Structure 1
């Protein structure tokens, strides 16, 4: 089905990031982990993952062996990605402001928990796109949790943990992993913040424990918005869309164009390229239910549609792609031109691939080094500055009927008013 801008606006609804029907189940898991600690984690590993494990922590020797025996080219690729991420994150890291009467001090968090998915696929890139940021921030302990497997944790994931200097790796997944990181168990320490994507149970658990622990975001299905014109390469665009659709059946793809013939040509190419993919079953389900080809009436409508969707990834493959940057106000990340495909951002460019989904780019940003920093204000006023500010504060305190607040200021004015 092809949409116009108007029919898309009428039909489009942002899907809930959270499946609230799972709330009672997740609450029960959280409570059980609080009550039973490690034993609950062992029980859930067997129940949910079919893994009969005897230890929660992966020994450092096993992590080192995974690194040492990993294919040399893959190891080098992971290290190159780490280096690129480090350079970019250092370039955007908050800097301490100069000391004065009013300024900020910036401190890294002490302990961060990183959730690395391990169900339908392995994601060493998620280790890189989270742990490297924590390292650049100066976080003292980085703790990775990833679902246990019937055989062993993915070698590349463990190697990535070694490359990033992760402090501890625990084989625990799902809502129970979030609960363990939030409240601590006999083995797993309580952390200050939990980051990283996961399934619906993980997302809902993060939402429920927020406040007892910090979180990055509530991750939903992945999504991409691709804007094209008559100059776009049909094959490249089609594969870019498939790269998003192959994540899972709920992944959403949007193709935006003001040329009906071009839109139809890319849709046809999508079918050709789809047949070549190994994850074709997942892709077909995603495209069947969550693919939106949108015919607009020009650049202005392109921008309107992009800002309405507020997509996780926005790829602009037009002759005037750079002109879109300032106009797009709601996007997790923007990929400009045909040589900036979303996949390069997933792995090696430098910005984190942990991005807001489900329209959350309206108010949220992608994960960065600064999410692992905690700024606090410092007030160090001189007498003259205080005496200039205090009268206004005294009046406001009186309006709010807070006598002691008024007096705390007045006594320093020296006149007892």
Structure 2
């Protein structure tokens, strides 16, 4: 168990990106640029141990997959889709068409979505990304996901059907990012790549940024849970378990002024862990990346939470509403005991693709607006030009850009 100060000292040394993998990722990107589809097949055999004859999955299989899943799952996915769609529509940027100065909004032409494969079929990631792109009006939505020996999980393809995905390719890792960024014989170049992934995917996105847009450099998933004497210890324990089961690198932070509650929650964690199918993953995650932090006050709670700048921040205290305006660096804030982080992963509406590793200090979670671009429109009438030009001419003179000055001055002269 950490004190506020001992945790601050420890936190300085935490790093979410393994930079030692950079050279190997660069090699993969360059090989894909040179060898294209052939490289993708080679890497699938080397890293995924799957031989791929056909990189693209026929779109007809999306609806086949949808009809093959049970009705309860189909209804749950549709409910999630509807909630996500409604929320994203409510926050979507719109054109401002009034006056002489305004903004135009345009959807991106083509986007690539990376859906992790790994140890779980993350159908929710399809919905939490592709639905946003669809609401934005993106012209073509492409999904890449790691190949599987038994084929792509039907639930992922069903989610693609529900979300309106156009094309799916069974390609994973850094090689998928490279293919989306630069194009191959089969996979077209996209304008932006979004979606979570492992360290190789994160580094690949960082390296191709600038040639293509990205959402963020995602590290291990994480949650910060603030609790007090009123918190249901069993509920909070399951929130810790839910985060830890993502991956052995997943990070969990438990913050409180109440030492007894911290201990009680962790006792429940150990008790319930025995019944979890992914117990080995959870145990490793908690052993290496769990932090219980005993603070002296609510103010220290808030200080620690803002320092961590966590992907998910869950406030399960009697004064939870008081945190809303004071927590300024959360990827997503879950307020109260009835807003577990897991419900945000699936059905609440805001995307679960969120900044990790402290990057919520300067970035936000994925929204519909990440699939839009804006441009300003300057449509001045004569009087507005005359009111502005004198100031513009003076500044151009100071910068010694004579043609800039003359561009405005010639109009001034002719109008006068």
TM-score by length of 1: 0.98
Q: In the alignment, which residue of structure 1 is the partner of 2:77?
A: 78
Aligned residue runs from structure 1 range 334-349, under 5 A: 334-349=333-348
Query: What is the Cα-based RMSD across aligned positions, in Å?
Result: 1.3
Aligned residue runs from structure 1 range 237-276, under 5 A: 237-276=236-275
Q: In the alignment, which residue of structure 2 is the partner of 1:68?
A: 67
CA-to-aligned-CA distance 1:53-83 (integer Å, 9 cap, x gap): 1111001122221111111111111111101
Counterpart secondary structure, 1:376: strand
Q: In the alignment, which residue of structure 2 is the partner of 1:306?
A: 305
Counterpart secondary structure, 1:206: helix
Greater shift, 57-66 or 363-372, is seen at 57-66
Partners of 2:78 and 2:14 lie apart in 1 by 36
Q: In the alignment, which residue of structure 1 is the partner of 2:212?
A: 213
Q: In the alignment, which residue of structure 2 is the partner of 1:402?
A: 401
Counterpart secondary structure, 1:241: helix
| Alpha-carbon contact 1:245-1:283 (below 8 Å) kept | yes
Report the CA distance shift for 1:10/1:152 in structure 2 as closer, same or farther (over 3 A). same
Partners of 1:211 and 1:15 lie apart in 2 by 27
Query: Could you tell me how far 1:416 is from its partner in structure 2?
Result: 10
Query: Could you tell me how far 1:14 is from its partner in structure 2?
Result: 6.2
Greater shift, 129-138 or 20-29, is seen at 20-29
Partners of 1:260 and 1:118 lie apart in 2 by 39
Q: In the alignment, which residue of structure 1 is the partner of 2:235?
A: 236
Greater shift, 103-112 or 23-32, is seen at 23-32
Partners of 1:225 and 1:109 lie apart in 2 by 34
Query: Could you tell me how far 1:105 is from its partner in structure 2?
Result: 0.2
Q: Which ranges in structure 2 are unaligned for 5 or more consecutive residues?
A: none
Aligned residue runs from structure 1 range 171-210, under 5 A: 171-210=170-209
Partners of 1:14 and 1:194 lie apart in 2 by 30
Q: In the alignment, which residue of structure 2 is the partner of 1:358?
A: 357
Counterpart secondary structure, 1:293: strand
Counterpart secondary structure, 1:106: strand
Counterpart secondary structure, 1:414: helix
Aligned residue runs from structure 1 range 7-406, under 5 A: 7-13=6-12, 15-406=14-405
TM-score by length of 2: 0.98
Partners of 1:47 and 1:416 lie apart in 2 by 70
| Alpha-carbon contact 1:321-1:336 (below 8 Å) kept | yes
| Alpha-carbon contact 1:17-1:218 (below 8 Å) kept | no
CA-to-aligned-CA distance 1:269-297 (integer Å, 9 cap, x gap): 22112122111111111111111111111
Partners of 1:68 and 1:14 lie apart in 2 by 49
Query: Could you tell me how far 1:259 is from its partner in structure 2?
Result: 1.2
| Alpha-carbon contact 1:113-1:194 (below 8 Å) kept | yes
Counterpart secondary structure, 1:247: coil
CA-to-aligned-CA distance 1:6-41 (integer Å, 9 cap, x gap): 111122136333222111111111111111111111
| Alpha-carbon contact 1:410-1:416 (below 8 Å) kept | no
Counterpart secondary structure, 1:242: helix
Query: Could you tell me how far 1:46 is from its partner in structure 2?
Result: 1.1
| Alpha-carbon contact 1:17-1:220 (below 8 Å) kept | yes
Greater shift, 239-248 or 60-69, is seen at 60-69
| Alpha-carbon contact 2:94-2:104 (below 8 Å) kept | no
CA-to-aligned-CA distance 1:107-162 (integer Å, 9 cap, x gap): 00010100000012110000000000000000110000001111210110011001
| Alpha-carbon contact 2:257-2:297 (below 8 Å) kept | yes
Partners of 2:415 and 2:58 lie apart in 1 by 65
Q: Runs of 4 or more off by more than 2 Å in structure 1?
A: 13-18
Counterpart secondary structure, 2:57: coil
Q: Which ranges in structure 1 are unaligned for 5 or more consecutive residues?
A: none
Partners of 1:24 and 1:225 lie apart in 2 by 33
